[in-house]
Amino acid sequence: MNAINTSILDTLARIVGPSGLLGGSDMAPYLTDWRNLYSDGAALAVLRPASTQELSDCVKACVAAGVPMVPQGGNTSMVAGATPDASGRQIVISTQRMNRVRAIDTMDMTMVAEAGVILKTAQDVAREAGALFPLSLGAEGSATIGGVLSTNAGGNTTVRYGNARELMLGLEAVMPDGTIWNGLRRLRKDNTGYALRHLLVGAEGTLGFITAAALRLFPLPREEAVALAAVRDEEAALSLFRRFRDRDESAVRAFEYMSAGSMHLVLDHVPGATLPLAQRAGHYVLIDLASSRPGAELRALLEEVLAEAMEAGEVLDAALAESGAQRAAIWRLREEHPEGQKLAGASVKNDVSVPVSKVPEMIRRSSDALRALIPGSRPVPFGHMGDGNIHMNLAQPLDMDAKAFLERSHDIMDCVNEVVRELGGSFSAEHGIGRIKTDMMESWRGGAELAAMQAIKKALDPKGLFNPGKVLP
Ligand code: FAD
Ligand code: 2HG
Ligand code: ZN
């Protein structure tokens, strides 16, 4: 290690203390991504500041020494956004020790949480206070408030409550020069020039470091009803969504589509996963209704709409949860989709969105194109149909070498993206750009939009030290 590195590490160690600076093999969990796509990560150190002030002092020291920084929360990014490169020059800054819920107010319906608060903890704290923090996703046991805001995560309840951005009222952040910005305003209306808070949301750590957020809360549901239905095809799934939306839009908390390909990987690979239906089908949907209105009669609504759709030949079979345990078991089948695909071998992810009406066409055309591109490959689409966001993923052919399959990743993504572009969609719906999709930015956002992004980056982070190599090409 050279003298410059030794001196910056000494400075940082003085700021954060011995438990705030990790090196050597202690850094291992911070250096690879959840998907294990990048195992070449290396870092000068992993920093774990315990407060906004400590973080600010660390950032100032890193800027002075020209050391690049990689913000990291739960490291569950699907696009390797939180992992460092192979240079060994970058410092990972983890929010693990900045994990206090600072305040909760059920009159204002707000909660102020530090960036390192785990999403599940935020939900639990809100529930204990008699309110709902509605953001929900499979990684909620590890993902953090800073991470979900920095990726503008969506998840399962976007159809009812919006993305993470819609749940944020104000932010506190350490800007790229180390200045602390306190924008923790808990206001429903605050039109005061450019909305810096919205620039930081979805910036994936490239424009500053979110240290705390003022979040919106909602009333707890009084009634919940969940069903898993086998449906005839993609169009039938969409038609069922419309039936529920037309009957009571405010009751639809989640509407998730799962193809046979993806559901059966869960049933075949995830221990304990069982289908609560008489037989396997070609397509499934999970319907989750919730209401805080007394007497919402959601169970009756669920039965009536499913019966109508059965009569119309759209629904083939359905299982209605009779208890909290059964609701959880049905949800588990959905939540285990990423894990099922991981256990089944190599897969390539395509987190895409199209206008809701185009979802069936997108799934069908992409699946055909993918099968033609790599014979024997298995399209495994699933996801948030109510938001037009499908994970149009592809599992490797059973007889193909995983490495050879992954080498085709960009062909596979291009193949889906071509269909998505024709349908007016986006190549990145909810996971972000991270390290994986930077090369797509020019073709999708090039021109005025990308130029503005680059100008903003240069203005806020002129030395390019915040999460270099992510988001922008
Ligand atoms: P990290 O992975 O640590 O970081 C994500 C990005 O944010 C990185 O670019 C990082 O540099 C940056 N960052 C982290 N913290 C900060 C901070 N405090 N300030 C500035 N930048 C920061 N996403 C969805 O949208 N919907 C889903 O349904 C969904 N399901 C998932 C299911 C599984 C099993 C997994 C593994 C992931 C899933 N994701 C989903 C991916 C999703 O992006 C993350 O789970 C979550 O948003 C990231 O939170 P994190 O704390 O792990 O962030
Ligand atoms: C989900 O919806 C996540 O479960 C992960 O966004 C999607 O594994 C994926 O492709
Ligand atoms: Zn998703």
For 173-223, the pLDDT digits (tens) are: 999 999 999 999 999 999 999 999 999 999 999 999 999 999 999 999 999
Which residues, in sequence order, are CB contacts of 293 under 8 Å at separation 6+?
222, 223
From the CA of 144, the nearest ligand is: 1
Partnered with residue 14 across adjacent β-strands are: none
At what angle are helices 359-373 and 234-248 packed, to 10 degrees?
A: 160
- Residues making up the chain, counted from first to last: 473
Kind plus residue range of the DSSP H or E element containing 181:
strand 180-183
Task: Choose the residue to mutate in 58, 150, 166 for probing ligand 1, maximizing ligand atoms within 8 Å of C-beta.
Answer: 150
Query: What is the pLDDT at residue 6?
Result: 79
- Whether residue 383 has its Cβ less than 6 Å from ligand 2: yes
Tokens of 147: 């991470």
Query: What is the pLDDT at residue 51?
Result: 98
Q: Decide: 253 and 241 in contact? Cβ < 8 Å.
A: no
Q: How far apart are CA 91 and CA 55, in angstroms?
A: 12
Q: How far apart are CA 473 and CA 462, in angstroms?
A: 16
Count the neighbouring beta carbons within 10 Å of the beta carbon of residue 183.
Answer: 18
Q: What is the DSSP letter of 118?
A: B
Count the neighbouring beta carbons within 10 Å of the beta carbon of residue 117.
Answer: 25
Q: How far apart are CA 130 and CA 102, in angstroms?
A: 17
Q: Which atom of ligand 2 is nearest to the CA of 341?
A: 8
- Whether residue 437 has its Cβ less than 6 Å from ligand 2: no
Q: Domain extents for the chain?
A: 3-94, 101-219, 223-338, 345-431
pTM: 0.97
Kind plus residue range of the DSSP H or E element containing 5:
helix 3-16
Tokens of 399: 């007889």
Residue 110 Cα to ligand 3 midpoint, Å, equals 25
For tokens 């290690």, the residue is 1
Query: What is the pLDDT at residue 40?
Result: 85
- Angle at the Cα of 77 (from 410 to 103), degrees rounded to 5? 155
Count the neighbouring beta carbons within 10 Å of the beta carbon of residue 402.
Answer: 11
Q: Whose CA is nearest to atom 5 of ligand 2?
A: 338
CATH fold group of domain 345-431: Alpha-Beta Plaits (3.30.70)
For 332-373, the pLDDT digits (tens) are: 999 999 999 999 999 999 999 999 999 999 999 999 999 999
Residue 155 Cα to ligand 3 midpoint, Å, equals 5
For strands 91-94 and 45-47, give the pairing: parallel
Residue 269 Cα to ligand 3 midpoint, Å, equals 20
Q: What is the dihedral of CA 404, 410, 412, 415, to 10 degrees?
A: -150
CATH 3.20.10.10: does it fit domain 3-94? Answer: no
The CATH number of the domain covering residues in 101-219: 3.30.465.10
Q: Decide: 199 and 101 in contact? Cβ < 8 Å.
A: no
Partnered with residue 218 across adjacent β-strands are: 132
Q: Per-residue confidence of the chain (473 residues) as pLDDT tens digits?
A: 676 677 999 999 999 998 899 999 999 999 999 999 998 889 999 999 999 999 999 999 999 999 999 999 999 999 999 999 999 999 999 999 999 999 999 999 999 999 999 999 999 999 999 999 999 999 999 999 999 999 999 999 999 999 999 999 999 999 999 999 999 999 999 999 999 999 999 999 999 999 999 999 999 999 999 999 999 999 999 999 999 999 999 999 999 999 999 999 999 999 999 999 999 999 999 999 999 999 999 999 999 999 999 999 999 999 999 999 999 999 999 999 999 999 999 999 999 999 999 999 999 999 999 999 999 999 999 999 999 999 999 999 999 999 999 999 999 999 999 999 999 999 999 999 999 999 999 999 999 999 999 999 999 999 999 999 999 99
Which residues, in sequence order, are CB contacts of 153 under 8 Å at separation 6+?
135, 137, 143, 147, 163, 164, 430
Query: What is the pLDDT at residue 1?
Result: 60
Residue 18 Cα to ligand 3 midpoint, Å, equals 38
Which residue spans within 302-377 are E strands per DSSP? Answer: 315-320, 347-348, 351-353
Domains 3-94 and 223-338 share a fold: no
Q: What is the largest CA-CA distance in the chain?
A: 76
Tokens of 137: 């996703």
Minimal CA–CA distance to 96: which of 207, 19, 183? 19
Q: Whose CA is nearest to atom 8 of ligand 2?
A: 338
The CATH number of the domain covering residues in 223-338: 3.30.70.2190
Q: Which atom of ligand 2 is nearest to the CA of 338?
A: 8
Tokens of 324: 């909290």
Q: How far is CA 283 from the centre of its chain?
A: 24
| DSSP helix/strand/coil, 148 | helix
Residue 414 Cα to ligand 3 midpoint, Å, equals 20
